[in-house]
Structure 1
C-alpha cells in the first residue's frame, strides 16, 4: 500500500512538472529563428531617426540663414544698380532702361533712403500689395527663423518690402519684390538638405549598425546560443561558456555567466548524486522494514522463554527494534522533506540518558567512559521518540569519532548535562574527541555535507537540528575545547 501511494504521489508531481518543462523546451530556445524586428533592426531605425532629428535641428537655422543671405545679396545688387542708375546721364534714364533694370533685379520697386529722404529710382506700372516688411540688419535670429518658415508656407505670389543698409552705412536700400522666386530657391535648398541628410543618415546608420552588431548583437546572440545549449544539457560541462578576452561589459557578462553555469552544473551533478542516493536509501529502507518485522516476530517468540537472561534482554531488544522501525519510517519522512509534528509529553530526562548507556554498546573492555550528570528530578517537555533520536545521533557521533582512535593513552569520555535556565531546558553533550573540523562547521547541520567523520552522510545532525526546531528550540556547537560540545535549548512549555 505504501508503494502504491508513493507511486501515485510521484505521478501527480510528474504531471505538474510536465507542462512547465514543455513550456520551456530547450530545443525551442535553441532554434535560430530570431525575430525579424530584433535588436539590430531597432538599432538601425533608431540611428536613422536620431540622425534625421539632428539634421532637422541643423536645417532650421540653415534655412533662415539662406533666406537672409539671399535677401542680402539681392540688396547688394540693388545698391550697385541704384548707384549706376543714379550716376548715369539723363538720356539713359528712360522707361525702357528702368524696366530692364527692374527685370534684371526681379523686383517691383527700387529706392534709396538717405538722411530721411526717400528717393524712388524705379517702379513697375502695377506693384503688388505689400504683405510684410523686413529689415535684414535689425531682425533677431528667432525673427529670421519665423520669417523663413512664413516664406515657405505663405510666400507663393506674395509681395514684400525689404530694407537694408548701404555699404557706406550712409543710407538704406529699399526694394519691393515678389517672394515666389525666394520661396522656390528655399524649397530647392531644403530638398538638397533633405537628400544630404538622408545620405548622411544612411551612411551613419549603416556604420553604427555594423559596429554595434559586431560589438553587441553578435556576442549577445552567442550568449543566447550558449544558454540554449546549456539548458538542453546543463550537466554537460562542455556546454559551459568559455569567456573571451574582452575587457568590457560583454566580457564581464561572459565571465559571470561562465561561473554561474559552472556552479549550476556542479550543483546539478551533486543533486543527481543525492537523488540517486535517496532512491537507494528508499529501496534499502523498504527491505529493511521487512527484515525488522521478521526480527520482531523472533523477539516475540524469545519473550515466551523462561530464561532469566532472556527475560532481561528481550525488553531492551524489543525497544531497540521498535526504535529501528521508527527510524526507518523517519528516513522516509526525511525524504519527503518533513518530520511528523512532535507529540510532546513530560519526560524524565535522566531516564533517557540511562537508555543511551544501554544502546551505545559500552562493554567493560571499552576505553570509553559514559557519564550521565542529568539531575534525576529534571523534567523536559518534548516528544520522547524524537528527543531520543536527537540524543542518540549526537552520542553515536561522539562514540564513533572517539573509538576511531587506537591510542590507549587517549581519554575517551562522553558526558551528558542538563539544567534549567529561565524558561528553557539546556542539554549539553560533551566529549573528549578531536572536535569538529573547521571545514565541517560551515555546513554542520546540512545533510550530506556536515559529516563529522570520513564516510559519514551528515544526516544525523541534519535530522537532529530539524527535530529541535520543530520543538521550538535550537541546537548549536559550543566554542569549547577539547572535544565537541553541543547545546540543545528546548522551551519548557
Structure 2
C-alpha cells in the first residue's frame, strides 16, 4: 500500500511538473500549445515520410540490381567473368540478385559465398502500416544486418526480383534523413509557432490582457472614472466585450455614486435631525417659560415663535445639499468656557428638572475653538448625561433627584481639558464597545448613538481628542482635549506628560 501510494505521488508530481508551463499566463499557454501542436503535426508527417524514404531507397536498389542483371541477358550463355560480376554487384551494392520469370527462379548474380540472410521484406504486398513498422525496425536495429528484399521488376521483366544486401547503408541514410527532417520540422515549427503566437497575441491575448487589467483596476477603485475602459472600434467579440464592459462599469459607478450620495444624505439628515431635536427641545423650554408669562403681548407673539421654528425647520431642509454630510471647518476664536457652559445648562434642561448642574469651569479660562461647534459638543454630552440620570434602558422616565452633572476644565500646557461627568448608573458594556460610532453606541433601545458620534467628529476637526475616562456604578466621566490652535505640535498625551514634568 505504501509503495503504491509513493508511486502515485511520484506520478502526480511528474504530471504537475509537466503541466507547469500550461499553468502560467495566457501568452505562455498559447506559445507552449502552439509549439506542441505544430510538433505533433510534424511528427504525423515525419513518420510516413521516413517509411516512404525507405521504400524509395529499396526500389532504387532493386532497379539498380535489375540493370546489373541485364549484362547477363546480353551474353549467350548468361555468364560473365568474375571481375565483371564483382563490378556489377559492387555498383548495385548487393550480394546477390535473383529473378522470377516464367514460374522459375533463377540466380542471376551472386558472390561465391554470399552471407546468411537475417530477415526478409516483401514490398509487393506490404501495407502502409507494415512499411512504417519496417522503417522503425530498420532505424532501431544495429548495423550489419543482412536482409533479402523482394519486389516487382520494372517494365514487366518478370514476376519478381530478389536482392540480398547489407542494411547498414540504408539505416545510415534513414538516420541522416530523419535528422534533416527533424531539423527542418523544428525550424518550421518555431517559425509557424512564432507567427501564430504573434498573430494570436495581438489579436486575442493583448486585448484580453487589457480587459483583465482593466477589470482588476476597476475592482480596486470603482469610483475612479479613469478606470472605465475605453472601447476600441473592433467589430468582433472582443469589441463587443469591451463595449459591454464599459457600459457595465458605468452602470456600476452610477449605482455606487447613487448609494454613496444616499448614504451621505442619510448621515446628513440624521445629524441635522439629532442636533435640530436638541435645538427644538431648547426652544420648547424657552417657549414654555415665555408661555407662562401672563402678558397679552407675549401670548400674542407665542404662535409667531412656533411659526418661526417651523420656518427654521423648513429652511434647514431646503439648505441641505445632496450628498454633503461633512461638517464645516471650525472658525476658531477665543471662547469664555464658563459662559458657554451656562448657555449649555440653560439649553439642556429647565429649572424644574430633578438634576443639579455644577459649573466648575474657572471664570477666566479661555479655549480656542469654534463657539457653535463647542456648544454642540457640550450639549450632546450634557443631554446624554441627563438621559442617563432620568431614563432607564427602555426609555421610561424615573425620578432621580440626587442626579448631578458636573462640568470642569483646566489648562494643560498648550491644551484645554474639559471634563463632563455624572453620577448615573454608567454605560452598559454594549454601548462602550462602539461608543463613538453612529447607530451603534447608544445605551437606549430607541437611541441612535449620534450624539457621541457628532461630538467626536467635531472634536477631531479641532485637532483634539475625546475619551471615556470611566463608566461604572459611581457614574460616567468624559474628557475632551482641545489644543490652542491647529498648529500645536503636541498631542493630548504629550501635553499631559509635559505638564507633569513641569510640575
Q: Which residue of 2 aligns with 1:162?
A: 149
Q: 1:210 aligns with which of 186, 198, 203?
A: 198
Does 2:218 align with 1:230? yes
Deviations 1:232-279 (A, max 9, x none): 542233432221111111101101110011001111111111121121
Aligned length: 274
Structure 1 residue runs of 4+, over 4 Å off? 89-92, 291-305
Q: Distance in 2 between matches of 1:154 and 1:300?
A: 118
| Matching residue of 1:184 | 172
Quote how far apart the aligned CAs of 1:162 are. 0.8
User: Is the 1:44–1:205 Cα contact (8 Å) retained in structure 2?
Assistant: yes
Residue 135 of structure 2 is aligned to residue 148 of structure 1: yes
Q: Which residue of 1 aligns with 2:249?
A: 261
Partner of residue 364, structure 2: none
TM-superposed deviation, 1:37: 4.8
CA RMSD of aligned residues (A): 3.2
Residue by residue over 1:193-226, the C-alpha shift from the partner in whole angstroms, topping out at 9 and shown as x without a partner, is 1111111111111111111111112222322443
2:72 touches 2:78 (CA, 8 Å); kept in 1? no
Give me the TM-score of the superposition, normalised by structure 1.
0.51
Query: Among residues 35, 40, 43, which one is paired with 1:56 in the alignment?
Result: 43
Contact map agreement 1:243 1:251 (CA 8 A) in 2: yes
Q: What is the rounded CA distance, in whole Å, between the counterparts of 2:281 and 2:143 in structure 1? A: 110
Q: 1: distance between equivalents of 2:228 and 2:132?
A: 61
1:121 to 93, 104, 108: 108
Task: Give the distance between the partners of 1:60 and 1:86, measured in 2 at CA.
Answer: 40
- Gapped regions of structure 2 (runs ≥ 5): 1-21, 294-503
Flag the 1:248–1:233 CA change in 2: closer, same or farther, 3 A. same
Contact 1:155 1:179 in 2 (8 A): no
1:41-120 mapped onto 2 (5 Å cutoff):
41-88=28-75, 93-120=80-107
Structure 1 residue 123 displacement after superposition: 2.1
Q: 1:91 to 1:133 in 2, by over 3 A?
A: closer
| Cα 1:132–1:224 shift into 2, 3 Å | same
Contact 1:136 1:162 in 2 (8 A): yes
After the TM superposition, which of the residue ranges 115-124 and 54-63 deviates more from structure 2?
Answer: 115-124
Secondary structure at the counterpart of residue 118 of structure 2: strand
SS at match of 2:27: helix
For residues 156 and 67 of structure 2, what CA distance do their matches in structure 1 show? 12
Deviation digits for residues 399-448 of structure 1, max 9, x if unmatched?
xxxxxxxxxxxxxxxxxxxxxxxxxxxxxxxxxxxxxxxxxxxxxxxxxx
CA distance in 1, matches of 2:232, 2:289: 74
User: How far apart in 2 are the matches of 1:299 and 1:204?
Assistant: 92
- Aligned residue number for residue 135 of structure 1: 122
Q: Structure 1, unaligned stretches of length 5 or more?
A: 1-34, 306-493
In the alignment, what sits opposite 1:40? 27
CA distance in 2, matches of 1:142, 1:230: 59
The TM-score with structure 2 as length reference comes to 0.50
User: Equivalent residue of 1:145, what SS?
Assistant: helix
